[in-house]
Amino acid sequence: RFPIVSAVDIGGVTIARNDVVRDDDPTNNVPDSIFSKLGMQLHRRDKHPIGILKNAIYDYFDSNYAKQFEKFEDLSPIVTTKQNFDDVLVPADHVSRSLNDTYYVDPQTVLRCHTSAHQAELLREGHRRFLVTGDVYRRDSIDSTHYPVFHQMEGFCVFSPEDWNESGKDSTLYAAEDLKKCLEGLARHLFGGVEMRWVDTYFPFTEPSFELEIYFKEDWLEVLGCGVTEQRILKQSGLENNVAWAFGLGLERLAMVLFDIPDIRLFWSDDERFTSQFKKGELGVKFKPFSKYPPCYKDISFWISESFTENNFCEVVRGIAGDLVEEVKLIDSFTNKKGMTSHCYRIVFRSMERSLTDEEVNDLQSKVRDEVQRKLNVELR
């Protein structure tokens, strides 16, 4: 099903699969399908939509900030829980730390779930304005805008008292306004005109915090999170007299809007009908879909156990069907008099490259049924 990669090269460091995944380790939940994505570095390919977008964002920062932003794009995606969580003040009991949400290599090591994992170390090394681009990993639901591996770009900008003093504004307000101005300018640079809106939100590492949404295919699509950095993070690096802003862009989401790419799985396609449509440095290209092969819907119903989670179910489906699964959605749920809860999921199978045969889909579905029962402790109905 998936090429079993035995070693990957990450920024010049070779990681053998056995160093990362030990089958006897219950705290290791990195499947082969994910391991094989390590080291792919889509963001460093100049002819790939993710690389083209990254370069266009670099252009914006280079020309508007006189090249003050340093760029990092080959930091290893394998980080400590301290980097990924503690350093950015994620509370000890936060859901994002669970095996259900994050890929663990061992109890102290994860595949980074955001590029914010590098904020603190770069500040400690003395960097003050920087962009960090890389692949990030999350156990998540399955649909056209979510994928377990995607790319983020982190931006970070530290200000000194001279910067805000002459504005007469309070430092937090100064940083928040500068941040929004910077990101609105970036959106104009990338899209020209586009409908967008700011939404207030929460992150452990910023206050206030915002998300930017863009109107795409008749719906609002969240493309980035950002905010004014918590003072505690700056203090850790001796910057208590400063203020800073930070953002984390979802590169696939922005690229979907920019190039009109309808499904996030396409970014991983080797099909020439996809890859040949993009040229280095060309932002204006609209993707011409080469296929809308027919979908095939299969429903599966089961009584769940207490430990059941949707992410675990999606991981099982993805482990079997890989990129042939387009969407998994809960279509029915009820609890009977005995207190047993039943879920019915609809799985949408569709290849982006060819028509699937009935036989093939039935085979996938039957494997899903077997494995769900075996691994997730549920009772099929």
Q: Which stretch binds ligand FA5 (CB under 6 A): 139-147, 268-276, 300-308, 351-359?
A: 139-147
Contact status: 50 vs ligand FA5 (CB under 6 A)? no
- With binding defined as CB under 6 A, does residue 224 bind ligand FA5? yes
**Angle 358-376/310-321 helices, nearest 10 degrees?**
140
Question: Can residue 225 be called a binding residue for ligand FA5 (CB under 6 A)?
Answer: yes
- Minimal distance, residue 22 CB to ligand FA5, in Å: 26
Asked if 130 interacts with ligand FA5 (CB under 6 A), we say no
Which residue's CB atom is positioned nearest to ligand FA5? 250
> Do 296 and 348 touch, CB atoms closer than 8 A?
yes
Q: Is 288 exposed, middle or buried (0-12, 13-18, 19+ CB in 10 A)?
A: exposed
- Whether the link from the prior residue into 208 is cis, omega within 30° of 0, is yes
Q: How far, in whole angstroms, is CA 133 from its chain's centroid? A: 12
Give whole-number Cα distances, 157 to 85, 176, 182, 228, 323, in Å.
Answer: 20, 11, 11, 10, 37
Span of 168-176, 184-192, 220-228, 368-376 interacting with ligand FA5 by CB under 6 A: 220-228
Residues 283-312 that bind ligand FA5 (CB under 6 A): none
DSSP string, 169-186: S-HHHHHHHHHHHHHHHH
Candidates 300, 299, 298, 308; CA nearest to 375 is: 308
Does the protein bind ligand FA5 through residue 320 (CB under 6 A)? no
Is 345 an interacting residue with respect to ligand FA5 (CB under 6 A)?
no
Nearer of residues 145 and 365 to ligand FA5, judged by Cβ: 145
Our finding on whether 206 is near ligand FA5 (CB under 6 A) is yes
Residues 24-43, mask of contacts with ligand FA5 (x by CB under 6 A): --------------------
Single-letter amino acid code for the residue at 336: N
Question: What's the min distance (Å) between Cβ of 349 and ligand FA5?
Answer: 20
Closer residue to ligand FA5 in complex, CB, 229/365:
229
Cα distances (angstroms) measured from residue 267 to each of 115, 142, 261: 19, 15, 9
Check binding of 54 to ligand FA5 (CB under 6 A): no
> For binding to ligand FA5 (CB under 6 A), which residues are involved?
114, 116, 138, 140, 146-147, 150, 152, 154, 203, 205-206, 222-227, 246-248, 250, 252-253
